[in-house]
């Protein structure tokens, strides 16, 4: 990434408890072909989340992540597994409903939402 101060390195993906900060599971990513084979339907962010939560108990669990990981497909998959999830999303992300892509000015603290099935985009 040209604007980053350190242009090369490792990424450490972590599954951590929000209350204690305890890291329950982690994976080191160095980029390149040595990582898990990804299908065209599942991107890197989705596969990271699904790998980290592979053995998590779905009772009373909420998974939170940032916009790098948030996709409609991932939210649907987590819903199928009985997990609740919340994440920021970029308006340019594929599969979002039109209401999420509209550039409408909102005041600070204002919010809008729309549901589709059990998803709240």
Predicted pLDDT of residue 38: 54
CA distance 108 to 34: 44
Predicted pLDDT of residue 34: 43
Domain ranges of the chain: 11-101
Predicted pLDDT of residue 52: 92
pTM assigned to the model: 0.74
15: number of Cβ within 10 Å = 19
pLDDT in tens, 70-103: 888 898 899 888 898 988 877 777 777 676 666 6
Q: Which two tokens mark 54?
A: 């592979």
Extract the residue ranges of the chain whose pLDDT is less than 70. 1, 32-41, 60, 97, 99-103, 112-121
């Amino acid at each position: 990434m040209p604007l980053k101060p350190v242009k090369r390195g490792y990424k450490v993906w972590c599954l951590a408890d929000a209350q204690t900060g305890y890291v329950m599971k982690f994976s080191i990513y160095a980029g390149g072909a040595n990582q898990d084979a990804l299908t065209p339907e599942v991107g890197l962010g989705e596969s990271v989340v699904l790998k980290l939560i592979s053995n998590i108990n779905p009772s009373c669990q909420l998974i939170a992540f940032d916009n790098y990981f948030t996709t409609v497909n991932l939210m649907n998959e987590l819903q199928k597994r009985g997990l609740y999830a919340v994440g920021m999303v970029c308006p340019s992300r594929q599969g979002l409903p039109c209401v999420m892509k509209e550039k409408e000015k909102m005041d600070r603290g204002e919010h809008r939402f729309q549901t589709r099935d059990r998803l709240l985009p």
